[in-house]
Protein backbone atom coordinates (compact mmCIF):
# COMPACT_ATOMS: atom_id res chain seq x y z
CA UNK A 1 0.00 0.00 0.00
CA UNK A 2 2.86 2.41 0.74
CA UNK A 3 3.93 2.10 -2.90
CA UNK A 4 0.64 3.66 -3.97
CA UNK A 5 1.41 6.61 -1.69
CA UNK A 6 4.72 7.40 -3.40
CA UNK A 7 3.16 10.06 -5.63
CA UNK A 8 5.59 12.88 -6.26
CA UNK A 9 4.60 16.40 -7.13
CA UNK A 10 6.17 17.89 -10.24
CA UNK A 11 5.80 21.51 -9.18
CA UNK A 12 4.72 23.24 -5.99
CA UNK A 13 0.97 23.93 -6.27
CA UNK A 14 -0.55 27.09 -4.87
CA UNK A 15 -2.08 26.92 -1.41
CA UNK A 16 -5.67 26.47 -2.66
CA UNK A 17 -4.85 23.65 -5.09
CA UNK A 18 -2.43 21.43 -3.19
CA UNK A 19 -3.36 18.08 -1.76
CA UNK A 20 -4.04 17.78 1.98
CA UNK A 21 -3.17 15.13 4.56
CA UNK A 22 -5.39 14.56 7.60
CA UNK A 23 -4.01 12.57 10.53
CA UNK A 24 -6.10 10.95 13.27
CA UNK A 25 -3.92 10.22 16.32
CA UNK A 26 -5.67 7.18 17.79
CA UNK A 27 -5.16 5.41 21.12
CA UNK A 28 -6.01 1.79 20.36
CA UNK A 29 -6.27 0.83 24.05
CA UNK A 30 -8.84 3.47 25.01
CA UNK A 31 -10.42 3.87 21.54
CA UNK A 32 -9.89 7.62 21.68
CA UNK A 33 -8.96 10.08 18.96
CA UNK A 34 -7.00 13.28 19.49
CA UNK A 35 -8.71 16.41 18.17
CA UNK A 36 -7.40 19.96 18.21
CA UNK A 37 -8.99 23.37 18.38
CA UNK A 38 -7.11 25.77 16.16
CA UNK A 39 -7.38 29.51 15.69
CA UNK A 40 -7.50 30.06 11.94
CA UNK A 41 -6.33 33.58 11.07
CA UNK A 42 -8.06 33.75 7.70
CA UNK A 43 -11.44 33.10 9.40
CA UNK A 44 -10.59 34.98 12.63
CA UNK A 45 -12.08 32.20 14.76
CA UNK A 46 -11.42 28.84 16.42
CA UNK A 47 -12.37 25.47 14.93
CA UNK A 48 -12.24 21.94 16.29
CA UNK A 49 -10.45 19.91 13.68
CA UNK A 50 -7.90 17.21 12.99
CA UNK A 51 -4.16 17.34 12.53
CA UNK A 52 -3.77 18.40 8.90
CA UNK A 53 -1.59 20.13 6.41
CA UNK A 54 -0.97 20.81 2.77
CA UNK A 55 1.28 18.65 0.66
CA UNK A 56 3.76 21.38 -0.15
CA UNK A 57 7.18 19.75 -0.33
CA UNK A 58 7.82 18.46 -3.83
CA UNK A 59 10.48 15.96 -2.75
CA UNK A 60 8.28 14.10 -0.23
CA UNK A 61 5.39 11.65 -0.55
CA UNK A 62 2.05 11.99 1.25
CA UNK A 63 2.95 9.51 4.00
CA UNK A 64 6.01 11.60 4.87
CA UNK A 65 3.82 14.70 4.91
CA UNK A 66 1.41 12.98 7.33
CA UNK A 67 4.28 11.98 9.65
CA UNK A 68 5.65 15.53 9.57
CA UNK A 69 2.25 17.14 10.22
CA UNK A 70 1.75 14.97 13.32
CA UNK A 71 5.16 16.08 14.60
CA UNK A 72 4.81 19.77 13.70
CA UNK A 73 1.23 20.33 14.86
CA UNK A 74 0.97 18.27 18.04
CA UNK A 75 4.56 17.15 18.78
CA UNK A 76 3.64 13.47 18.45
CA UNK A 77 5.14 10.52 16.62
CA UNK A 78 3.89 7.04 15.87
CA UNK A 79 5.50 3.82 14.70
CA UNK A 80 2.28 2.73 12.97
CA UNK A 81 0.54 4.80 10.31
CA UNK A 82 -2.48 3.34 8.58
CA UNK A 83 -3.72 4.83 5.30
CA UNK A 84 -7.47 5.05 5.77
CA UNK A 85 -8.70 6.72 2.57
CA UNK A 86 -7.79 9.10 -0.26
CA UNK A 87 -10.20 11.17 -2.29
CA UNK A 88 -9.76 12.44 -5.82
CA UNK A 89 -10.06 16.03 -6.93
CA UNK A 90 -13.79 16.29 -7.64
CA UNK A 91 -15.87 19.41 -8.30
CA UNK A 92 -13.08 21.76 -7.32
CA UNK A 93 -12.28 20.04 -4.03
CA UNK A 94 -8.64 19.25 -3.32
CA UNK A 95 -7.45 15.65 -3.07
CA UNK A 96 -7.42 14.56 0.59
CA UNK A 97 -5.43 11.73 2.18
CA UNK A 98 -6.53 10.36 5.57
CA UNK A 99 -4.21 8.52 7.95
CA UNK A 100 -4.49 6.97 11.39
CA UNK A 101 -1.43 7.30 13.64
CA UNK A 102 -1.79 4.46 16.12
CA UNK A 103 -0.78 4.98 19.73
CA UNK A 104 1.24 8.17 19.23
CA UNK A 105 3.68 9.37 21.87
CA UNK A 106 4.79 12.91 22.68
CA UNK A 107 8.14 13.80 21.15
CA UNK A 108 11.03 15.08 23.26
CA UNK A 109 12.33 17.44 20.57
CA UNK A 110 9.53 18.21 18.12
CA UNK A 111 10.18 20.26 15.00
CA UNK A 112 9.02 23.87 14.85
CA UNK A 113 5.55 24.31 13.39
CA UNK A 114 5.81 26.76 10.48
CA UNK A 115 2.05 27.49 10.41
CA UNK A 116 0.62 30.91 11.29
CA UNK A 117 -2.47 29.37 12.88
CA UNK A 118 -2.11 28.03 16.40
CA UNK A 119 -3.72 25.40 18.60
CA UNK A 120 -5.84 26.80 21.43
CA UNK A 121 -7.05 23.48 22.89
CA UNK A 122 -6.73 19.73 22.34
CA UNK A 123 -8.32 16.64 23.81
CA UNK A 124 -8.73 12.89 23.51
CA UNK A 125 -12.32 11.90 22.70
CA UNK A 126 -14.03 8.55 22.50
CA UNK A 127 -16.70 7.80 19.90
CA UNK A 128 -19.54 9.00 22.13
CA UNK A 129 -17.84 12.33 22.88
CA UNK A 130 -17.00 12.70 19.19
CA UNK A 131 -20.66 12.16 18.29
CA UNK A 132 -21.68 14.80 20.86
CA UNK A 133 -19.24 17.25 19.24
CA UNK A 134 -20.97 16.57 15.91
CA UNK A 135 -24.44 16.90 17.44
CA UNK A 136 -23.44 20.20 19.11
CA UNK A 137 -21.95 21.44 15.81
CA UNK A 138 -18.50 21.78 17.36
CA UNK A 139 -17.32 19.64 14.45
CA UNK A 140 -18.74 20.00 10.97
CA UNK A 141 -20.14 17.10 8.98
CA UNK A 142 -17.69 16.67 6.14
CA UNK A 143 -15.47 14.06 4.57
CA UNK A 144 -12.97 14.40 7.44
CA UNK A 145 -15.52 13.66 10.15
CA UNK A 146 -16.96 10.77 8.16
CA UNK A 147 -13.48 9.25 7.84
CA UNK A 148 -12.94 9.80 11.57
CA UNK A 149 -16.12 7.83 12.26
CA UNK A 150 -14.72 5.07 10.03
CA UNK A 151 -11.59 5.06 12.19
CA UNK A 152 -13.70 4.60 15.32
CA UNK A 153 -15.59 1.82 13.56
CA UNK A 154 -12.34 0.09 12.53
CA UNK A 155 -11.10 -0.10 16.12
CA UNK A 156 -14.50 -0.95 17.54
CA UNK A 157 -14.45 -4.06 15.33
CA UNK A 158 -10.86 -4.88 16.26
CA UNK A 159 -11.60 -4.73 19.99
CA UNK A 160 -14.96 -6.51 19.87
Distance CA(21)–CA(66), nearest Å, equals 6
User: Is residue 13 one of the residues assigned to a domain?
Assistant: no
Q: What is the mean pLDDT of each run of 10 residues along the chain (160 residues)?
A: 45 63 97 95 92 87 95 97 88 86 96 87 98 96 94 83
User: Is residue 148 one of the residues assigned to a domain?
Assistant: yes
pLDDT at 83: 96
User: Is residue 101 one of the residues assigned to a domain?
Assistant: yes
User: Is residue 41 one of the residues assigned to a domain?
Assistant: yes
User: Is residue 132 one of the residues assigned to a domain?
Assistant: yes
pLDDT at 17: 64
Return the closest-CA partner of residue 35 out of 132, 112, 160, 157: 132
The total of structural domains in the chain comes to 1
User: Is residue 28 one of the residues assigned to a domain?
Assistant: yes
User: Is residue 8 one of the residues assigned to a domain?
Assistant: no
Please state the three-class secondary structure of the chain as a single string.
CHHHHCCCCCCCCCCCCCCEEEEEEEECCCCEEEEEEEEECCCCEEEEECEEEECCCCCCCHHHHHHHHHHHHHCEECCEEEEEEEECCCCCCCCEEEEEEECCEECCCCCCCCCCCEEEEEEEECHHHHHHHHHCCCCCCCHHHHHHHHHHHHHHHHCC
Confirm if 37 and 46 have CB atoms less than 8 A apart: yes
pTM: predicted TM-score of the whole model, two decimal places: 0.85
pLDDT at 67: 97
Per the structure, the complete domain to which residue 152 belongs is given by 19-158
pLDDT at 113: 85
User: Is residue 12 one of the residues assigned to a domain?
Assistant: no
CATH assignment of the domain containing 120: 3.90.79.10
pLDDT at 77: 98
pLDDT at 1: 45
pLDDT at 16: 52
Amino acid sequence: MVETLQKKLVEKPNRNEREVVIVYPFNTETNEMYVIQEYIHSYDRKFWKFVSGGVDKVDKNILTHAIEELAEEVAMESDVFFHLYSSEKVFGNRPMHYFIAEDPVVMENPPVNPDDDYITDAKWVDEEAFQKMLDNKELLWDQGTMCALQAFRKYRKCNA
